[in-house]
Homo-oligomer: A and B are copies of this chain.
Amino acid sequence: MVCSPAHIASQIRERGFRLTPQRMAILNALHESGDHLLPLEIFEKASASLPGITEPTIYRTLDFLVENGFVSVTHVRGRRLEYELTQHKHHHLVCSVCGLEEELSHEWLQPFRDQLEQITGFSLTEDQITFTGLCRHCK
A residues at B contact (CB < 8 Å): 73-75, 79, 81, 93, 95-96, 102, 104, 108-109, 112-113, 116-117, 120-136, 139
Contacts and interface: CB of A to CB of B under 8 A. Distances in A.
Given A75-B73, A75-B81, A81-B81, A96 B120 contact: no
Given A109-B112, A124-B132, 13 more contacts: A73-B79, A74-B75, A75-B75, A79-B81, A102-B120, A104-B116, A120-B136, A122-B131, A125-B132, A127-B130, A127-B131, A127-B132, A128-B131
A58 B115 CA distance: 39
Contacts of A112: 108-109, 112
Complex copy number for this chain: 2
Given A81-B75, A125-B96, A139-B123, A131 B102 contact: no
